Amino acid sequence: MPTYKVIAAEVSLVSVGDNEFLPKLLNPLRRKIHQVSAEETYDTKICSHGLKNKRITPSIPP
């Protein structure tokens, strides 16, 4: 049963796009993440690659 808990967060500078930071948020996590839900700004090659490497299913509208 999914829990829908926030397990990572980061505050970044205005000059850093949220989508650039997603892979960096996933790297230190030790627990298995099955799915990530995000808004369309995360529909990028950087995010797709980071999620694919961790075998995480994205739920991001195009």
pLDDT tens-digit series, residues 12-56: 778 877 788 888 888 888 888 888 888 888 888 988 998 999 999
Average pLDDT, integer, range 2-18: 76
In degrees to the nearest 10, what's the CA dihedral of 62, 36, 47, 52? -110
Global pTM reads: 0.72
SS3 60: coil
pLDDT score at 38: 86
pLDDT tier at 3, thresholds 50, 70, 90: low
Structure-token pair, residue 5: 């808990």
2 — pLDDT class (breaks 50, 70, 90): low
Cα-trace Rg, the chain: 11
10, two tokens: 């980061």
